[in-house]
Amino acid sequence: MIVKAKNLVKRYNTKIALDHFNIEVEKGEIVGLLGPNGCGKTTAINCILSLLNYDKGDIEVFGKKMTSNSYEIKGQIGLVPQEVSVFENLTVRENIDYFAGLYIDDKSLRKQYVNEAIDFVDLKGYERFYPHKLSGGLKRRLNIACGIVHKPKLIILDEPTVAVDAQSRNFILEGIRELNRKGSTIIYTSHYLEEVEQIATRIVIMDNGKDIVSGTTLELKEMITTSEKIVISFLEIDDRVEMELNSIANVIEVEKVNGDYVIKFENGANNLTNLLEFIKKHNLIYSKLYSQQPTLNDVFLELTGKELRD
218 and 247 co-located in one domain: no
21 and 169 co-located in one domain: yes
In a domain, 95, yes or no: yes
93 and 158 co-located in one domain: yes
DSSP state of 174: H
Q: CA–CA separation, 92 vs 142, rounded Å?
A: 7
When pLDDT is averaged across residues 29-43 and rounded to a whole number, the result is: 92
188 and 278 co-located in one domain: no
In a domain, 195, yes or no: yes
Furthest CA-CA distance within the chain: 78
- CATH number for the domain harbouring residue 249: 3.30.70.2470
When pLDDT is averaged across residues 111-133 and rounded to a whole number, the result is: 95
In a domain, 36, yes or no: yes
Residue 144 pLDDT exceeds 90: yes
247 and 177 co-located in one domain: no
218 and 240 co-located in one domain: no
Residues making up the chain, counted from first to last: 310
CA 21, chain centre distance (Å): 17
Residue 309 pLDDT: 62
Q: CA–CA separation, 133 vs 88, rounded Å?
A: 10
Q: Please state, in angstroms and as integers, the Cα–Cα distance from residue 123 to each residue in 70, 96, 119, 138, 237, following that order.
A: 32, 11, 6, 8, 57
Q: Tell me if 154 sits within 8 A of 184, measured CB to CB.
A: yes
Q: CA–CA separation, 44 vs 156, rounded Å?
A: 11
119 and 205 co-located in one domain: yes
Give the N- to C-terminal CA distance of the chain in Å, as an integer.
33
- CATH number for the domain harbouring residue 9: 3.40.50.300
Residue 63 pLDDT exceeds 60: yes
281 and 163 co-located in one domain: no
In a domain, 307, yes or no: no
Report the chain's mean pLDDT, rounded to a whole number.
93
In a domain, 303, yes or no: no
Domain boundary among 187, 222, 257: 222
* Domain boundaries, position 218: 3-222
209 and 248 co-located in one domain: no
Q: Tell me if 190 sits within 8 A of 308, measured CB to CB.
A: no
Q: CA–CA separation, 147 vs 230, rounded Å?
A: 43
pLDDT in tens, 149-184: 999 999 999 988 887 888 888 888 999 999 999 999
Residue 310 pLDDT: 47
Q: Please tell me the least confidently modeled range out of 84-88, 101-105, 301-305.
A: 301-305
59 and 184 co-located in one domain: yes
